[in-house]
Amino acid sequence: MHAQALLAESPVWDAGTGTLWWVDILRGELHQSDPATGGNRSWRAGTALGAVAPRTGGGFVAAAGDGFCVLDPLAGAPLRWLWRETAGADLPAPGWPNGLSVRMNDGKCDPGGRFWAGTMTIDRTPGASHLYRLDPDGTVHVALAGVTLSNGLGWSPDGSTMYYIDTGERTVDAMSFDVDTGEARHRRTLVAVEEGAGNPDGMTVDAEGCLWVVLARGAAVRRYTPEGRLDRVIPLPVHKGTSCAFGGPGLRTLFVTTACVGLSEAELVAEPLAGAILGVDAGVAGLPPHGYDG
């Protein structure tokens, strides 16, 4: 579906409409794609758009620019900021299209209705970024400091374990999670991705509790068991996969977002699907996305 996004990310399945929502981060666009017809609609946010998650009250919560906002494109509602990380954020600075040297990246909601998203700097300064938690009451908390490139998030089917990727560390980490309080503790490395295999980026969790991790520059999606054992490898026809989510009938299609930004002319010719949304028969069902209760 829909080639070519510069940097597609944050796929979210909408069972009510049978469509997939996703963002093109660098263009600041929110897209709605219909796998059955190939149709696509898009809206511009006016700033870099790192991730979205559905709101239980309608529309979306988003990690955008350097903060959190809400938007409802189908209702024609304008973007409304909830919180921004950087003081003086409206001042020009070299970096991303939003004029900042830091921006929000991947994000997702937990089973308790909170929205989690982290940051990255344009030069990927080690330890300079954070993972934040936006509670339903609108308060923002630093969940993790000392992050390099905040990326994929996921929760076990019973909600007792939270999974997190800091691409700079090349690890998939696990934490004990309290759904009632939103506290994540006892962070430990579940998977260390070997050099040369690509960079761990976005991920999702299936109904069996296994993790599907997209390897950017690795041309593959890997499935790991809850114990961290490599279970399956799905090759991709592009090197720059970014994230994934389950959707389609029975949530049995794995939709994989990809990117074409930074590819050479030769690479673009060799990878005509770079920037497209790919669909893979995963052979297993996924979990429906959690919504934001704010």
- pLDDT score at 226: 98
Mention every residue, 6+ apart, whose C-beta is less than 8 A from residue 227.
Answer: none
**Lateral strand order in the sheet of 40-44:** 8-14, 19-24, 29-33, 40-44
- pLDDT score at 2: 66
Assign 289 a pLDDT band (cuts: 50, 70, 90): very high
Ordered by where they begin, the domains of the chain are 8-281 (2.120.10.30)
Burial (CB < 10 A; 0-12, 13-18, 19+), residue 110, is buried
Contact 76, 130 (CB under 8 A): no
Compute the average pLDDT of residues 146-172.
98
Tokens coding 216:
């950017």
Contact 257, 77 (CB under 8 A): no
Contact 65, 84 (CB under 8 A): yes
Catalytic residue at 201?
Answer: yes
pLDDT, tens digit, 9 for 90 and up, residues 174-223: 999 999 999 999 999 999 999 999 999 999 999 999 999 999 999 999 99
Residue in 66, 173, 201, 206 annotated catalytic: 201
CB burial readout 55-87, b (16+ within 10 A) else e: beeebbbbbbbbbbbbbbbeeeeebeebebbbe
- pLDDT score at 4: 83
Assign 283 a pLDDT band (cuts: 50, 70, 90): very high
pLDDT, tens digit, 9 for 90 and up, residues 62-110: 999 999 999 999 999 889 999 998 744 443 444 545 555 789 999 999 9
Average pLDDT, the chain: 93
